[in-house]
């Protein structure tokens, strides 16, 4: 099934009024698949019952932050790697930088080559809704 996209306009940053907007494709028409549906689909593809799948997935969800906060990246072969990245305030010298300068953490996900290959097979179709 093709992914639907619509056309959106964006003005170049810092150039409002000086340059005309540019037009880009943006994916649309997506709805979220919740945990129960994901677990149901996993159960249908395996010999594991739905309740056991839910239990394993919930444990996985609890485990990921724990491992990341203990300084580990989490690599799932065939799927990808979860990692943490800090954002913070810049200083003039390395000696000035301290833990107080960390303003936040972001969790990143880098898909495995297999996932990238599968996503590379995507086909696209223009959404024919309102003003697209």
Phi-psi region of 47 (alpha: psi -120 to 50; beta: other; left: phi over 0): alpha
Instruction: Evaluate whether residue 61 is within a structural domain.
Output: yes
Q: What is the pLDDT of residue 131?
A: 53
Instruction: Evaluate whether residue 118 is within a structural domain.
Output: no
For the stretch 91-102, pLDDT in tens is 999 999 999 999
Q: Which of 107, 110, 113 is nearest to 78 (CA)?
A: 113
The number of distinct structural domains making up the chain is 1
Instruction: Evaluate whether residue 16 is within a structural domain.
Output: no
Burial of 53 (0-12, 13-18, 19+ CB in 10 A): buried
Instruction: Evaluate whether residue 27 is within a structural domain.
Output: no
Instruction: Evaluate whether residue 15 is within a structural domain.
Output: no
Domain that holds residue 53: 32-70
Instruction: Evaluate whether residue 17 is within a structural domain.
Output: no
Instruction: Evaluate whether residue 9 is within a structural domain.
Output: no
Instruction: Evaluate whether residue 100 is within a structural domain.
Output: no
For the stretch 25-77, pLDDT in tens is 999 978 899 999 999 999 999 999 999 999 999 999 999 999 999 999 999 99
The beta-strand segments (E) located in 1-132 are: 3-10, 22-27, 74-76, 80-88, 102-111, 124-126
> Can you name the residues that pair with 124 across neighbouring β-strands?
3
What CA–CA distance (Å, rounded) separates 83 from 109?
Answer: 7
């Amino acid at each position: 099934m093709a992914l639907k996209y619509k056309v959106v306009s964006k003005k170049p940053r810092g150039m409002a009024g000086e340059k005309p907007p540019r037009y880009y494709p943006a994916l649309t028409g997506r709805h979220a698949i919740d945990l129960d549906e994901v677990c149901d689909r996993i159960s249908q593809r395996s010999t594991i019952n739905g309740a056991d799948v839910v239990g394993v997935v919930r444990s996985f969800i609890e485990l990921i932050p724990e491992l990341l906060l203990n300084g580990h990246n989490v690599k799932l072969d065939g799927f990808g790697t979860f990692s943490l990245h800090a954002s913070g305030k810049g200083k003039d010298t390395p000696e000035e930088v301290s833990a107080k300068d960390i303003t936040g953490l972001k969790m990143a996900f880098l898909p495995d080559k297999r996932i990238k290959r599968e996503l590379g097979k995507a086909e696209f179709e223009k959404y024919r809704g309102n003003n697209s």
